[in-house]
Amino acid sequence: MPQMMPLNWLTLMFFFIMIFYFFNNLNFYNFFYTPKKSLISKMKISLNWKW
C-alpha cells in the first residue's frame, strides 16, 4: 500500500506510549486488594471471673 501515508516513528511512539499508559492505569485501578483482618482484633479475652 504505497499510496498510504507512512507512519513515522514519532506517531508510533506516541501511540504505543498511550497504549502502555492506558493498560497500566487499567491494571492499577482494577486491582482490589482486600487486606486480611488482623487476628488480634478477633481474639477477645474474656475476663468473666466467678468470684
5, 32, 41 from 35: Cα distances, Å = 52, 9, 14
Give exposure, 2-28, as e/b (b: 16+ Cβ within 10 Å).
eeeeeeeeeeeeeeeeeeeeeeeeeee
Structure confidence by residue, pLDDT tens digits, 5-16: 677 888 889 999
pTM over 0.75: no
Handedness of CA 10, 12, 17, 22 (dihedral sign): positive
Q: What is the pLDDT of residue 51?
A: 67
pLDDT in the model for residue 18: 97
Query: 21 pLDDT exceeds 90?
Result: yes
- At 23-51, the pLDDT tens digits run 999 988 887 777 666 655 556 667 777 76
